[in-house]
Amino acid sequence: MDDGTWGRAPIEPQSVNAPLSTAAVFLVVTIADGAESVATARDVVSDIGGLVRAVGFRDLNGHLSCNVGIGATAWDLFEQPHRPAQLRRFEEISGGVHTAVSTPGDLLFHIRAERPDLCFDLERLILEKLGSAVVVADETQGFRYFDSRDLLGFVDGTENPTGASMAEASLVGEEDPAFAGGSYVVVQKYLHDLPRWKSLSTEQQEQVIGRTKVDNVELDQPPAQRKSHKSLNTIVDANGVEHDILRDNMPFGSPGKAEFGTYFIGYARELWVIEQMLRRMFVGDPVGQYDRILDVSTAITGTNFFVPSREVLESLVGVE
């Protein structure tokens, strides 16, 4: 039912632009069949603020937050009168050598805090409330690694916008007024072949990434040289305007299982910007010259979501 709130521009985003945290949980779930499951999921996500407060009050300096993303299929299940203009399912990108896979996901809970126990307890409460209404598709615990480096040894997120540019890059504006203050988000879970990566010299690694390893200085990119990871992820439109996204990537791993990876999560005002980055990485620019980081980093998940403003998220409750 359209109660008239959809025509007003929401003014309070979720915690999209929160500072990088020490710990995080990335929880992706699918909604089970049946109207009751849909109703339960809708009620839980619309009241996520209450759950965050219930856990976060124990240590306000822990800065607990949770962004809720809704996938294209779930948006349809919630039977909303309007739909974010660019919300669509993640489409598999098959390059000549590597593939960006598409995997299921109706809801994303991006939990962040300065204490891992706060993340743990909020995730526990969320899943307890959801119960049998959902099935966990992926659960990943991330951690901040030294001076914001990934497990490949390079600083991650250097190109993130700062200040007022953060909102400009990550939050929907007047172009889609019913969903202003929202953000498109893409998640991918990458597993690294560290022995293969370590077999490369530091100079070879730097050419792949496009930055120096120790001091994180951007390398010059001669026109004739194969593009680096950094260059392939720089998106400039036909008018010469560069489009940024906001990354909150986290390392994850289990040495006992020889599992080492990076959880990519990118927030964007426009979904096509991240889609273009991924096409350039997996297909190549020019075609065939794919991102060489993919020779050691394999994407095992890929899902799109929309993170609505708090106003829109809370309005989901009781909508028939």
Boundaries of every domain in the chain: 11-314
Query: Can you give the pLDDT at residue 80?
Result: 87
Q: Structure tokens of 242?
A: 């560069």
Q: Structure tokens of 77?
A: 């299940």
- Average pLDDT over the chain, rounded to whole? 94
Crossing angle, helix 35-46 and helix 48-56, to 10 degrees?
50
Which helix (H) or strand (E) covers residue 235, if one does?
Answer: strand 235-236
Whether 181 and 84 have beta carbons less than 8 Å apart is answered as: no
pLDDT one-digit tens code per residue, 151-163: 999 999 888 999 8
- Residues 17, 168, 72, 37: what is their CA dihedral angle, to the nearest 10 degrees? 30
State the distance between the two ends of the chain, measured CA to CA, in whole angstroms.
Answer: 6
Of 106, 138, 156, 248, the active-site residue reads 156
pLDDT mean by block of 10 residues, the chain; 320 residues: 45 90 98 97 96 96 97 93 95 97 98 98 98 98 96 93 92 95 98 98 97 95 91 93 96 97 98 98 97 98 97 76
Taking residue 142's Cβ as centre, other Cβ atoms within 10 Å add up to: 26
Instruction: Report helix, strand or coil for 206.
Output: helix
Taking residue 239's Cβ as centre, other Cβ atoms within 10 Å add up to: 5
33 carries an active-site annotation: no
Instruction: Report helix, strand or coil for 109.
Output: strand
pLDDT one-digit tens code per residue, 217-267: 999 988 889 999 999 999 999 899 999 999 999 999 999 999 999 999 999
Query: Can you give the pLDDT at residue 1?
Result: 40
